[in-house]
Structure 1
Amino acid sequence: MAKEKQIAIKDVEISNNCPECFSQELRLTFYQKHTYNPLYHRTTGEVTHEIKCKKCFSLIYPVKWTPDIERVFDYYNKLVEPDKSSVRFTMLFFALLLLMIVLVGGGIYIYLEGLI
């Protein structure tokens, strides 16, 4: 079963007012989705975000954003540079691939030599 992880790619403190407690301690974090499997590690192009108050620990959903928060979010959203979407194979994948090549090669050799 593949495991999914959200890796933080940008973490910024913004000085806008929290809509819940009106403090000026908000944290904007951008995450990129990574999938881990025994055969490969995949980096997707999917980027998510989260705004959290550092004082009351509440998540600020887009419904409650003020125009100031939207402007700051748009600015930092343009600055985020996610990693390229890629697939990296693990050693288990290469070991299985090598084993399959050896088995197919051995089967062809036995067939051509007429040992069966």
Structure 2
Amino acid sequence: MAKEELKIIKEAELTNNCPECFNQELRLTFYQKHKYNSLYHQTSGEVTHEIKCKTCDSTIYPVSWTEDIERVFDFYRKTVTPDRATLKFTMLFYTLILILIVLVSGGIYLYLQKII
């Protein structure tokens, strides 16, 4: 089964006021989704974000953002450069493909030699 992991690609400390507790200790974090499987490692192009207050430890959702928070978020969103969306195969995948090729070619050889 594939294991999904959100990797941090950028973090920023914001000096905007928290809508919940009105302190100025917010942290903006951008994540990129990675999938790990025994046959492949996939990096998706999907980027997610989260704004958390460090004082009251609450997540600030876009519904409660102020104009200042939106402006700062737009600025940081433009500066985020995610990794390319890639699909990398593991050594187990290549080994299974090689074994499959050997079995198919051996079957064709035996068929052509009229042994089977």
TM-score between both structures, scaled by the size of structure 1: 0.98
Could you report, residue by residue, the CA deviation over 1:3-38 in whole angstroms, capped at 9, with x for unpaired residues?
111111001111100111111100000000111111
1:32 corresponds to: 32
Greater than 4 Å deviation, 4+ residue runs: none
Could you report, residue by residue, the CA deviation over 1:83-111 in whole angstroms, capped at 9, with x for unpaired residues?
00010001110010000000011111111
**AA partner of residue 40 (structure 2):** Y
Q: What is the correspondence of 1:10-49 to structure 2 with a 5 Å cutoff?
A: 10-49=10-49
Same amino acid, percent of matched pairs: 68
Structure 2 CA distance for aligned equivalents of residues 12 and 115 of structure 1: 69
Q: How many residues align?
A: 116
Shift of 1:112: 1.2
2:9 corresponds to: 9
TM-score between both structures, scaled by the size of structure 2: 0.98
2:87 corresponds to: 87
Structure 2 CA distance for aligned equivalents of residues 31 and 50 of structure 1: 8
Please give the secondary structure, in 2, of the residue aligned with 1:109.
helix
Taking only aligned residues, the RMSD between alpha carbons, in angstroms, comes to 0.6
